Amino acid sequence: VIGAFFLIKFIFLNDTASEKTTDISELAARKALPLPPLLEDLNPDPNQAEFHLTAQKGKLEILDGVESHTLGYNGNYLGPVLRVREGEKVKVKMKNDLDEATTLHLHGLRVDGEMDGGPHSGIKPGERWEPEFTINQPAATLWYHPHMMEKTAKQVYEGLAGLIYIEDENSDQLAIPKEYGVNDFPIIIQDRQLDASGSMEYDPGMNDVMMGLYGDTYLVNGAIKPYLEVPKGIVRLRLLNGSNGRTYHFELSNRSEFYQIASDGGLLEEPVEMTTLRQSPAERAEVLVDFSKFKTGDTVSLVDVSTDAKIELMEFVVTNKESGVNEIPTQLAKISHYDPNNAVKTRQFVMSGVGATLTINDKTMDMTRIDEEVKWNDTEIWEVTNQRTGIKGGMAHPFHLHGVQFQVIDRDGEKPPENETGWKDTILIQPGETVRIITSFKNKGIFMYHCHILEHEDAGMMGQYEVK
Q: Write out the residues near ligand C2O by the rule CB under 6 A.
A: 105, 107, 145, 147, 282, 400, 402, 448, 450, 452
Nearest one of 463, 241, 263 to 351, comparing CA atoms: 463
For 85, 368, 406, 410, 429, the CA distances from 437, given in Å and listed in that order, are: 27, 26, 6, 7, 11
Nearest distance from C-beta of residue 269 to ligand C2O, angstroms: 25
The interface region with Cu ion, picked from 4-12, 100-108, 253-261, 297-305 by CB under 5 A, is 100-108
- Partner whose binding site includes residue 451, from Cu ion, ligand C2O, none (CB under 5 to 8 Å by kind): Cu ion
- Partner whose binding site includes residue 456, from Cu ion, ligand C2O, none (CB under 5 to 8 Å by kind): Cu ion
Find the binder of Cu ion among 220, 451, 459, 467 (CB under 5 A): 451
Tell me how far apart the alpha carbons of residues 243 and 213 are, in angstroms, rounded to a whole number.
Answer: 8
Nearest distance from C-beta of residue 234 to Cu ion, angstroms: 30
Q: CA triplet 418, 424, 428: central angle to 5 degrees? A: 80
Tell me which DSSP letter residue 279 carries. Answer: E
Q: Which of residues 374-413 bind Cu ion (CB under 5 A)?
A: 397, 402
Nearer to Cu ion among residue 143 and residue 294 (C-beta): 143
CA 153 to chain CA centroid, Å, is: 14
Nearest distance from C-beta of residue 373 to Cu ion, angstroms: 20
Nearer to ligand C2O among residue 114 and residue 269 (C-beta): 114
Torsion from C-alpha of 215, 216, 222, 227, nearest 10 degrees: 150
- Partner whose binding site includes residue 401, from Cu ion, ligand C2O, none (CB under 5 to 8 Å by kind): none
- Partner whose binding site includes residue 147, from Cu ion, ligand C2O, none (CB under 5 to 8 Å by kind): ligand C2O
DSSP 347-411: EEEEEEEETTEEEETTB---TT---EEE-TT-EEEEEEEE---STT----EEEEESS--BEEEEE
Nearest distance from C-beta of residue 453 to Cu ion, angstroms: 4
- Phi and psi for 376 in degrees, rounded to 5? -50, 135
Nearer to ligand C2O among residue 236 and residue 452 (C-beta): 452
- Partner whose binding site includes residue 151, from ligand C2O, Cu ion, none (CB under 5 to 8 Å by kind): none
By the rule CB under 5 A, 453 interacts with Cu ion: yes
Nearest distance from C-beta of residue 447 to Cu ion, angstroms: 9
Tell me which DSSP letter residue 32 carries. Answer: B
Tell me how far apart the alpha carbons of residues 410 and 13 are, in angstroms, rounded to a whole number.
Answer: 47
Nearest distance from C-beta of residue 357 to ligand C2O, angstroms: 20
**Number of residues lying near Cu ion (CB under 5 A):** 6
Tell me which DSSP letter residue 443 carries. Answer: S
Find the binder of Cu ion among 85, 151, 192, 456 (CB under 5 A): 456
Q: Which amino acid is at 85?
A: R
For 41, 90, 188, 341, 345, the CA distances from 302, given in Å and listed in that order, are: 32, 35, 12, 42, 42
Tell me how far apart the alpha carbons of residues 80 and 158 are, in angstroms, rounded to a whole number.
Answer: 16
Q: Are 119 and 450 in contact (CB under 8 A)?
A: no
Nearest distance from C-beta of residue 276 to ligand C2O, angstroms: 24
Nearer to ligand C2O among residue 235 and residue 467 (C-beta): 467
Nearest distance from C-beta of residue 109 to Cu ion, angstroms: 8
Residues near Cu ion (CB under 5 A) are 107, 397, 402, 451, 453, 456
